[in-house]
Structure 1
Amino acid sequence: MGVNTTGNDTLRTLLDGRWAELRERTRKRLGVLEAPAPGLSREEHREHVLRQLRALASSGHSTAGFPVRHGGDGDFGGSVVAFEMLGFGDLSLMVKAGVQWGLFGGAVQALGTDAHHERYLREIIELDLLGCFAMTESGHGSDVQRLNTTATYDPDTGEFVVNTPNVHARKDYIGNAARDGQVAVVFAQLITGGEEHGVHALVVPIREPDGSARAGVTIEDCGEKAGLNGVDNGRLTFDNVRVPREALLDRYGHVAEDGTYSSPVEGTGKRFFTMLGTLVRGRVSVAGGALSATKKALTIAVRHGETRKQFAKPDGTEVPVLDYLAHQRRLLPALATTYALNFAQEALVSELHAVFGGDESDDQRKRELESQAAGQKAVATWHATRTIQTCREACGGAGYLAENQLPQLKADTDVFTTFEGDNTVLLQLVAKGLLTGYRDHLGDLDTLGMARFVATQLVGAVIERTPVRALLGGDVRDRAWQLKLFTDREEHVLDGLVRRLRNAGEDDAFEVFNNAQDHVLRAARTHVDRIVLEAFVAAIDRCPDSDTAELLERVCDLHVLANVEEDLAWFLGHGRLTTAKAKSITSEVNSLCAELRPRAAELVEAFGVPMEWITAPIAQR
C-alpha cells in the first residue's frame, strides 16, 4: 500500500491558524533547547528545567500576553499558543513556564492594579522574580470558594495577617514552591473589621534572599511524582505572616487604611466568579498543552506503524502494522479527533483573545467562554490520556521503553485531567451553564446551591428538535445529517435532564441532583461534542485548497462516525439510528480508516512537532 510522505504546507498552515508565525518562532526556540538527559535525578531535572526557563526568557518567549508598557507584546491569545507549543518538548518545562508566566504572572496581571503591574510584571517576565500560584489547599481543591486560609487586616499596623488555621488549609501541590519560588500569590478569605469578604489574592514573600524560608512560612517538598519531576511542587503553611496592605491584589476588592472594604463588583458570589473568570486562560492553556503531547505521541506511533512489519502475505512480503485494519482503528480515529480538537482549541483561543484581550466587558460572553473552556479542557485532557495510552500499546514492547518517549508522555500528562480543575467537576460547570441558560445568577457553585437554583428557577422549555425520521434516513457521510445528529443528541439529553430536575423540592434538591449526575455529565459531554464538530466544519470551510479540504472532509467523517460508534447504545436506545444504519456506521469507519491510511504520515507531519524533540528510535526513518 502506498504511503504519501509529502509535506502539506496548506494543512500545516490551517492547523497553525491565526498564530502561525508565533508557532513557527516557538518551534525554532524549542529546536535549540536541550532535552533533559536520561537518568537525571529529581534535583538535576529541576535545575535543568530552570536553566531552560531562563533560556526561554532570554529568547523573548516570556513576553507573550503581558502589557507592552511593562515589557510584553500585548498578545493575550498568543500567550496561550506559546504555552501550548512547549508541549512538543519537555512537559516539565511547559508546566513550569505556565506556573511562572501564566498562573503567577497572570494572577498579578489580572487581579492587580497599575501599581502591582509597575512593581512586579517586568521582573516576572524577565525571570528576576520567580513565583507561585497558591490556591489549592489540602482540603479544598475544586471548592475554591471555601478555602480555609485567612488574610485578616490589622488597621493598627496597616498589614494583612496571612494564616493557615488547620491542616486542611495547607497550600498543596504548588508549583515553584519547593525550590525556586520567591513569592506566592496566596488565595485566602479576606477579613476586615470582623467581616468576611470572600476569597481574595495577596502577594506574599515566602523566601529570604538567601533562599531560606521566610519567618512564619513552612515550605515542604511534595517529593517524587508520577511525572513532571522537573517541576518543584511544594506545600506552604503560613503562621500569622504579615504583609503590607499593598500586597492585596485589589482590582476587585480594596481595603482602605482604616480597614474599610470596597469593591466595584457587588456581592461576594459575583465578585468571586468575576475574579476566577479572569484566570480562565489556565484551563484553555492546559487543553492546548494536552493536545501538543497527544500530537507528539501520534507522530511517534504512526511513524512506527509505517516502518514496523509483522507477518507476511502469501507472496512472502512482510506487512507494515499500520496496514492492518485493527492497527488503523487504534490510531486513525484518535488522529481524527485530535484534528477536531485542534480546530476547537483554535476557536476557543480566538474567543479568549477577543473577550479578555481588550478593555470591553461582556459578562454573558465571559460566562459562555468559561463554560466552553471548562468543557474543552475536560475533553482534550481525557483524549490525551486515552490516546497516549493507545499509542503506547500500538508500539508494543518498544513503546514501553523510556527511549521511545511514550512512557514519559503518559506519566507527564496523566495529571492534566485533574489540575486546573478536575474534569468531572468541570463538566458539571458546563451543565450548569446549559441548565441556567447562562443567566445572571452567580450564586454558590456547590451541588446544593446548584440543585436549589434548578429546582426553584428553571422553567422547562419545549425544545424544537429535528424530527427523528430525518435522522433515520440520510447518508452517514452527509455533513448536514451529522450536525443534526449531534445537535439532536445534545438537545434530547438536556431536555431529559431538565425533566429529571424540574420536580425537585427544597427538601430533596440535593438528592435529586446527586442522583442525576450521570445525566448531568452526559449533557455537558454532548454539548462539547457538538461545539467541537462545528469548529471542524468551520475550519474545512476556510481551507483554500480543494485537495486538502477533501482530505479534511474524510478526517472529519472519521471523527464523527467514530464518536457515533462509541455511543451507539444511546443512538439505538433512543431510536435515532436503525440497526441497519448502526451497522453501516461501523462499516464506514472501516472504510475511512482504509482511505486515510495512505495519508497518515502526511496528517501527523502537519502537526509540525519539531524533529529535535522526536528522539524515539522507533520513530526514525
Structure 2
Amino acid sequence: MGITAGGVEALRESLDGRWGAVRRGSVELLGGLKPPGELEREEYRAWVAEQLHALAEGGHPLIGFPAEHGGQDDVGGSVVAFEVLGFGDLSLMVKAGVQWGLFGGAVQALGTAGHHERYLRAIMSLELPGCFAMTETGHGSDVQHLRTTATYDPDTEEFVVDTPDPSARKDYIGNAARDGRMAVVFAQLVTGGVTHGVHAVLVPIRDGGGAPMPGVRIEDCGPKAGLNGVDNGRLWFERVRVPRANLLNRYGDVAPDGTYSSPIEGEGRRFFTMLGTLVRGRISVAGGAGSATKKALALAVRYGETRRQFTRPDTGEEVVVLDYLAHQRRLLPALATTYALHFAQEEMVSALHDVSDDRQQRELESRAAGLKAVATWHATRTIQTCREACGGAGYLSENLIAGLKADTDVFTTFEGDNTVLLQLVAKGLLTSYRDHVGDLDPWGMARFVADQAVNVVIERTAARAIIDRLVSGSSDALLDRGWQVRQFEDREKHVLEGLARRLRRASKEDAFDVFNAAQDHVLHAARAHVDRVVLEAFVAAVDRCEDPEAAALLDQVCDLYALSTIEADRAWFLEHGRLTPQRAKAVSQAVNELCARLRPRARDLVDAFGIPETWLTAPIAA
C-alpha cells in the first residue's frame, strides 16, 4: 500500500524546500505550456523561441535579476525556477539558461552599473537576445588558454576582437545560429602589447534585421543528437571593433589611454575569481539534469505498475513488472539516489544564495563541480535504465524517454566536462588537506601511517560488532544511520590520505606524470567526497521533515541510497577491510529487502516530484 494523500503532499513539501513557493509557481507556469509534438528542426526552433517569450511574459526571468532593474533579487529562486523547466521541453530549458543564466548572468556578474542599467531590462524582456561565447573549437575545458583576442586601440578607444586561427572559432554557442543579437565574448585582453588574461567583451553579432554584423561570421552547427530546438552556432571575428565601454569591467578595466587596472592582483587569481561568479550555470545544469531524471523515473514507474509479463504458477495471473525484484533493482536505487541528489542540490542552491565571503565561494565552486558531475552522470545512467525498463515502448518518441536520453546526453560535457570537474574537486580536497596536515616530515609521516593503521583496526572491530549483530538475528544492523555515515566518511578520508601520500613523492620535474598516473585515484577521491556530501544532505532532510509518515518513508529511501552506494563500491570496502565477504552479502540482501519495502510506495515517491501532467502525456504513463 502507498502512503495517504496527505503523506504524499508532505513528501512534496519536503522536496519543495526553502523555495517551495517559487517551485510551485514555476510548475504552474510550465503546466500552462503545451508540448511541441513532432516538429522539423526550424519549426522546433521557432516553437522554442515563442515559448521563451511566454516564459518572459510569465515573469520567469525576473526572479534572479536585481530589483533596481525590475527583477526580484532571488538568486536561489532563479535556479529552482530553472530546475522546474527540466520537467518540460529541455530545448526550452537550455535556451532559457543561455539567455538569462549565461548571457544575462555574465552581464550581471562581470559587468558594472552602466552595463546593468543599459542591458538587463532588455535581456529580461527578450528585447536583446544574446549568447555566451566562451568555448572554442580548440579549447573547451581549458578556458584560461582561449585564443580569441580583444586588443585595445587607444587612438579610437575601441577593442578589436579577432579570431586568430581556425581553432579559435567560438563553437557550440547556444542562441548564435538563429536568434542572438549580442554575444558575451571571452577573449585574451591585450593592451599596449601586454596580455592580461581572459576577459569578457560585449560584441554585437547581428543588426536589427538579423544580418551578421560587419566582420562577424556565423555558421549553424547543424543537427545534433538532441536539443535541436536550441540554435547552436559557430562565430568568427575578423577585426571587429567595439567601444571601450563594452568591456565587462568588474574585475579588469582599461582606461582611455590603454592603462590596465584590476582590483585583483595576479592573472590566475583574477581568472578564477571571474569564473567563480559564473558558478550559477553549473549549479543550474545539475538541477536541470535532476528534473529530467525525475521525469524518466515517473514514466518508468508508472509503466512498471501496469505492464504485465509472465504468469504466477500458483494463480495463473500475469505479474506487473515492478513486482519483480530485478525490475525494482533497476529503478528503486536510482530513485533513492535521485532523492539524495535533490536534497544535496537544495543545500547547494542555499549556499549560492547565501554566499558571503571568499572561503564560502571556494567551497561552493568545489561542491558545484562535484555535484554537477555526479548528477549528470546519474541522469545519463538512469534515463538509459528507464528506457530499458520500458522495453520497446521506451524506444518510441511518443513515450518521451528517448527524447530525454538524447537531450541530456550532452549535460555530462557542457558547463564543464565531468572528468575535469572531478579533478578540480580532488585538487581542492588536496589543497585543504595540505592546509590542515601540512608537509609531513619523516617522523610526522610515520605517525600519520600509524594513525591510519589504528583507524583500520578500530573500524574492523566495529565491523565485527555489526556482523555479530547480524549473526544473532538483528537484521536492522545495517540500517544504523551512524554506521552508514561512518562508512562514507571513512572511505573519503582513507582515499584522500592515500592519494596525498602517493602525490607527495612527486618533484617539480615529474609532477605532471605522477598526477597523470594517479588519475583513477584522483577521481575516486572526488567521488567519495561527493557521495558523503550527498548522504549528509539526505540525512539532514529526513531530520527536517515534520510529518511522521513522510519522514518514515524518506528514512527508508535514505537507507536504500546509503546501502546501494556502498554495494556499488563494495570492491573497495572489501579490499580495505571495511566489509567482510559475509557482510558484503548482507548489504546486498538489505538492498533487496528495502526494494521490496519501497515497491508499494514507488508511485507515491514519483508523484511527490510534482511534475505537471501536461508533460507526462506518454501513452505508457496513462
| TM-score normalised per structure 1 | 0.95
Letter in 1 for 2:64: G
Of 536, 539, 543, the residue aligned with 2:538 is 536
The alpha-carbon deviation at position 5 of structure 1 amounts to 7.6
Partner of 1:447: none
Partner of 1:554: 556
Partner of 1:516: 518
Letter in 2 for 1:102: G
How far apart in 2 are the matches of 1:424 and 1:495?
21
Alignment of 1:432-511 (within 5 A): 432-437=427-432, 462=448, 465=455, 467-468=458-459, 469-474=461-466, 475-511=477-513
Partner of 1:598: 600
Q: Is the 8 A contact 1:31 1:610 kept in 2?
A: yes
Secondary structure, counterpart of 1:307 in structure 2: coil
The alpha-carbon deviation at position 3 of structure 1 amounts to 5.1
Alignment of 1:412-451 (within 5 A): 412-437=407-432
The alpha-carbon deviation at position 172 of structure 1 amounts to 0.2
How far apart in 1 are the matches of 2:465 and 2:296?
38
How far apart in 2 are the matches of 1:202 and 1:454?
42
Q: Is the 8 A contact 1:351 1:369 kept in 2?
A: yes
Letter in 2 for 1:312: T
User: Cα–Cα, structure 1 residues 287 and 454, in superposed 2: closer, same or farther, change >3 Å?
Assistant: farther
Deviations 1:329-350 (A, max 9, x none): 0000000000000000000000
Partner of 1:24: 24
Deviations 1:485-511 (A, max 9, x none): 000000000011011100111221111
Q: Does 1:260 align with 2:259?
A: yes
Partner of 1:577: 579
How far apart in 2 are the matches of 1:580 and 1:329?
21
Partner of 1:299: 298
User: Cα–Cα, structure 1 residues 583 and 78, in superposed 2: closer, same or farther, change >3 Å?
Assistant: same
How far apart in 1 are the matches of 2:109 and 2:32?
32
The alpha-carbon deviation at position 548 of structure 1 amounts to 1.3
How far apart in 2 are the matches of 1:154 and 1:438?
46
Alignment of 1:269-348 (within 5 A): 269-313=268-312, 314-348=314-348
The alpha-carbon deviation at position 524 of structure 1 amounts to 0.2
Letter in 2 for 1:317: E
Letter in 2 for 1:473: A
The alpha-carbon deviation at position 6 of structure 1 amounts to 3.9
Partner of 1:392: 387
Letter in 2 for 1:580: Q
Secondary structure, counterpart of 2:199 in structure 1: strand
Partner of 2:219: 220
Q: Does 1:112 align with 2:111?
A: yes
Q: Is the 8 A contact 1:310 1:320 kept in 2?
A: yes
Partner of 1:376: 371
Of 387, 390, 399, the residue aligned with 1:404 is 399
Secondary structure, counterpart of 1:410 in structure 2: helix
Q: Is the 8 A contact 1:455 1:504 kept in 2?
A: no
Letter in 2 for 1:270: R
Partner of 1:207: 206
The alpha-carbon deviation at position 470 of structure 1 amounts to 2.1
Partner of 1:87: 86
How far apart in 1 are the matches of 2:518 and 2:37?
49
Q: Is the 8 A contact 1:455 1:503 kept in 2?
A: no
Partner of 2:231: 232
User: Cα–Cα, structure 1 residues 35 and 5, in superposed 2: closer, same or farther, change >3 Å?
Assistant: farther
The alpha-carbon deviation at position 363 of structure 1 amounts to 1.0
Secondary structure, counterpart of 1:525 in structure 2: helix
Q: Is the 8 A contact 1:368 1:438 kept in 2?
A: no
User: Cα–Cα, structure 1 residues 455 and 419, in superposed 2: closer, same or farther, change >3 Å?
Assistant: farther
How far apart in 2 are the matches of 1:213 and 1:128?
17
Q: Is the 8 A contact 1:183 1:204 kept in 2?
A: yes
Partner of 1:130: 129
User: Cα–Cα, structure 1 residues 396 and 6, in superposed 2: closer, same or farther, change >3 Å?
Assistant: farther
The alpha-carbon deviation at position 455 of structure 1 amounts to 12
Secondary structure, counterpart of 1:203 in structure 2: strand
The alpha-carbon deviation at position 57 of structure 1 amounts to 0.2
Q: Is the 8 A contact 1:471 1:485 kept in 2?
A: no
Alignment of 1:61-210 (within 5 A): 61-210=60-209
Q: Is the 8 A contact 1:323 1:597 kept in 2?
A: yes
Letter in 1 for 2:130: G
Letter in 1 for 2:480: D
Deviations 1:404-435 (A, max 9, x none): 00000000000000000000000000001000
The unaligned stretches of length 5 or more in structure 2 are 467-476
Q: Is the 8 A contact 2:3 2:549 kept in 1?
A: no
Quick one: percent identity of the two aligned structures?
69
How far apart in 1 are the matches of 2:439 and 2:247?
35
Q: Is the 8 A contact 2:216 2:238 kept in 1?
A: yes
Deviations 1:290-342 (A, max 9, x none): 00000000000000000111111121221111000000000000000000000
Q: Is the 8 A contact 2:174 2:231 kept in 1?
A: yes
Partner of 1:443: none
How far apart in 1 are the matches of 2:369 and 2:522?
14
The unaligned stretches of length 5 or more in structure 1 are 441-452
How far apart in 1 are the matches of 2:539 and 2:247?
46
Q: Is the 8 A contact 2:34 2:614 kept in 1?
A: no
The alpha-carbon deviation at position 484 of structure 1 amounts to 0.4
